[in-house]
Amino acid sequence: MKQFLVRICQWFITRRRGGRYSEGDNEKVRCRGAVMFQPLLLVFLLLPGPARYCAAKYHVAHTLRIAGLFEEGSPPEWAFAFQSAVDAINRQTASWAPQRVFRPTLEPVLRTLSPGDSFGTGRAVCNLTSEGVAGIIGPRQTASTDIVRSVCDRLEIPQVVTNWDPRPPLRRAYQFNLHPDAKFIAQALVDVLRELKWRSYTVLYQGDESLVRLRSVLQEREPRDPPVAVRQLSQDGDHRPLLKEIRQSGETRLVLDCDTDTVPEVMRQAEEIKLIGVYQSYLITSLDTHTLDLGRYQQSGANITTLRLVQPDSELVLKSMQDFQYLRTAQPIHIRPETLRTETALVFDAVHVLANALFKGSTAQPVREQRLPCHGGVGAVWDHGIGVREFIRDMRHEGLSGDILFDASGSRVRFSLDVLESSSSGFQRVATWTPQEGFLSSRTETQAQRQTQSIIEGRHLIVSSRLDAPYLRMKAPTTPPRVGNDRYEGYSMDLIANIAELLNFTFEFKLAPDGEYGTYDKRKGTWNGLVGELINGRADLAICDLTITEERQSAVDFTMPFMNLGISILYTKPEKPPPNLFSFLDPFTIDVWIYMATAFLGVSAIFFVLARMAPNEWTRPHPCDQDSSELENTFSLINILWFTMGSLMGAGCDLLPKAVSTRLLAGMWWFFTLIAIASYTANLAAFLTISRMESPINSVQDLAKQTKIKYGTFGRGSTAAFFKNSNDSLYQRMWIVMKQARPDVFTDDNHEGVERVKKGKGNYAFFMESTSIEYQTALNCDLRKVGGQLDSKGYGIALPRDSPYRTAVSGAVLQLQERGNLSALKNRWWKAPEGKECDEDDPDKNSTELGILNVGGVFLVLFFGTLIAFAVSVLEFLWNCRKIAVEEMMTPWEAVVSELRFIVQCGLDAKPVRRRREPAPSDCSDSRLHYGSLCSSGRK
Residues that bind ligand ASP (CB under 6 A): 517, 545-547, 714, 717-719, 750, 768-769
**CB nearer to ligand ASP: pick between 520 and 672:** 520
CB of 547 to ligand ASP, least distance (A): 4
Q: What are phi and psi for residue 229, nearest 5 degrees?
A: -85, 135
CB of 717 to ligand ASP, least distance (A): 2
**CB nearer to ligand ASP: pick between 548 and 808:** 548
Q: Could you tell me how far CA 302 lies from the centroid of its own chain?
A: 24
- Residue 215, phi-psi category: left (phi > 0), alpha (psi -120 to 50), beta (remainder): alpha
**CB nearer to ligand ASP: pick between 714 and 829:** 714
Residue nearest to ligand ASP (CB): 717
CB of 718 to ligand ASP, least distance (A): 4
CB of 533 to ligand ASP, least distance (A): 14
CB of 552 to ligand ASP, least distance (A): 8
CB of 562 to ligand ASP, least distance (A): 13
**CB nearer to ligand ASP: pick between 51 and 543:** 543
**Distance (Å, whole) CA 237 – CA 467:** 49
CB of 250 to ligand ASP, least distance (A): 22
Taking CA 431 as the corner, what is the angle to CA 429 and CA 435, rounded to the nearest 5 degrees? 130
**CB nearer to ligand ASP: pick between 307 and 768:** 768
CB of 737 to ligand ASP, least distance (A): 18
Q: What are phi and psi for residue 237, nearest 5 degrees?
A: 85, -5
CA atoms within 13 A on the CB side of 58: 32
Could you tell me the sign of the dihedral formed by the alpha carbons of 594, 599, 602, 607, in that order? negative
C-alpha gyration radius of the chain: 56
Could you tell me the sign of the dihedral formed by the alpha carbons of 693, 694, 697, 702, in that order? positive
CB of 749 to ligand ASP, least distance (A): 9
β-strand pairing of 438-441 with 541-542: unpaired
**CB nearer to ligand ASP: pick between 69 and 544:** 544
CB of 720 to ligand ASP, least distance (A): 6
Q: What are phi and psi for residue 101, nearest 5 degrees?
A: -105, 110
**CB nearer to ligand ASP: pick between 36 and 768:** 768
β-strand pairing of 488-489 with 473-474: antiparallel
Q: What 3-state class would DSSP assign to 345?
A: helix
CB of 545 to ligand ASP, least distance (A): 5
Looking at residue 427, the DSSP 8-state letter turns out to be E
**CB nearer to ligand ASP: pick between 193 and 768:** 768
CA atoms within 13 A on the CB side of 784: 19
| Extended beta strands in 541-635, E state | 541-542, 556-558, 563-565, 567-572, 618-619, 632-633
**Distance (Å, whole) CA 878 – CA 884:** 10
Number of H helices, E strands in the chain: 32, 32
Give the H/E segment covering residue 705: helix 700-705
**CB nearer to ligand ASP: pick between 404 and 768:** 768
Q: What 3-state class would DSSP assign to 203?
A: strand
**CB nearer to ligand ASP: pick between 505 and 711:** 711
**CB nearer to ligand ASP: pick between 371 and 724:** 724
**CB nearer to ligand ASP: pick between 108 and 717:** 717
**CB nearer to ligand ASP: pick between 288 and 533:** 533
Taking CA 556 as the corner, what is the angle to CA 550 and CA 560, rounded to the nearest 5 degrees? 75
Does residue 158 contact residue 354 with C-beta atoms inside 8 Å? yes
Q: Could you tell me how far CA 581 lies from the centroid of its own chain?
A: 60
Does residue 113 contact residue 70 with C-beta atoms inside 8 Å? yes
Does residue 811 contact residue 559 with C-beta atoms inside 8 Å? no
CB of 722 to ligand ASP, least distance (A): 8
CB of 142 to ligand ASP, least distance (A): 58
One-letter amino acid of 696? P
